[in-house]
Amino acid sequence: MNRLQRLQDAGVSIWLDTLSREGLESGAFARLVAESAVTGATSNPTIFAAAITGSDRYDEQLRALVAAGVDDPRELFFAIALDDVRRAAAILRPVHERSRGSDGFISFECTPDIADDTEATIGQAVDLWHRIDRPNVLIKVPATRAGVGAIEELTARGVNINVTLLFSVERYEDVIEAYLRGLERRVAASLPVHGITSVASFFVSRVDAETDVMLSADSALRGRVAIANAPHAYARFLARFAGARWEALRRAGATPQRPLWASPGTKDASYSDVLYVERLIAPGVINTMPQKTLNAFADHGTVELTLGHDLSAARAVLSAAAAEGLDLDAITSELERDGVQTFCDSYEQLLNCIDSKAGSLAASA
């Protein structure tokens, strides 16, 4: 508890990397918000697949929807998932209000089957934004090339965006630029920018999981590449949300697009279970932790600012990685595609499960 509060006091927003009806109905999620410094949460197709396939808490609502004539698995998914999102948003609303709109968010993701379609992403994101109709919701858009194209338009339309599946600093530059252009379009059109929020979600442990298998077992670089990549991203955040261009937007009421460290659970059991929390502490960042990582940090995490302007150590690690033959650009590009495919697989599993459940519930009615 005290460790989590100290982490929050250091400027890190702690978000839960899961969402389930069980946690909402049992009060477990509300207790984390009230007692464990949790100020947000996120969801994705994998999270919802686990929640819905592993619980009967959705059955009653599914039965009622089927009885009302809803039989499209995607619409059934939206109906039940968006109810969970609204419930979470209600629990987080006091945090949102206390923070004057800078925290207290719940995220919901566009379906991964449209990750490479800019126009479809824009259309679905706008639809989801209006259907959820809560100020403390973020619509997740993947940082694919098509997704980057959607970010500017969605920001210009006033939609809060969580840019997900970010791996490379170069793609992050594109994401920041899209956000800034979207805000500038609103200012030019005399539309308000106050209250528009965006975060940029870097997936950290997956980078090490991929690079470690390419390194020798005794390489000193194992478990260090992702943590060397993150300071460069944070430095870009500090640089781009400063200076004359940003100051003009800030005076109009805009807020920075905050960096978010996603996937902080360690994949290698030989590493500290709080590695990607302790080494990524800086003011203004968000860390979305699985429950296991949250519990671990509450038990034995230490708080010390570990990110800043000095990139010399990070540059040395990345240079050494390149010397050992690691092509970080190629690796992060592959991770982006793998991430989209993983979410597509989870989404397909999810729709199949909902379709099967709906059929069974209809037959037993």
The token duo for 195 is 């209250």
How far apart (Å, rounded) are the C-alpha atoms in residues 180 and 85? 27
Instruction: Encode burial over 263-283: b for 16+ CB neighbours within 10 A, e otherwise.
Output: bbbbeeeeeebbbbbbbbbbe
CA distances in angstroms from 154 to 109, 169, 179, 237, 260, listed in the order given:
14, 22, 9, 20, 19
The C-alpha angle with vertex 337 and arms to 212 and 315, in degrees rounded to 5, equals 45
Report residue 161: phi and psi, to 5°.
Answer: -125, 135
Dist. CA 119–CA 76, nearest whole Å: 23
Cα separation, 213 vs 314, whole angstroms: 20
**Known catalytic residue at 140:** yes
Tokens 């650009």 — which residue?
329
Catalytic annotation, pick one of 140, 267, 292, 357: 140
Cα–Cα distance between 211 and 129 in angstroms, integer?
Answer: 37
Largest CA distance in the chain: 65
Cα separation, 52 vs 361, whole angstroms:
14
Pairing of strands 258-262, 198-203: parallel
Catalytic residue set: 140
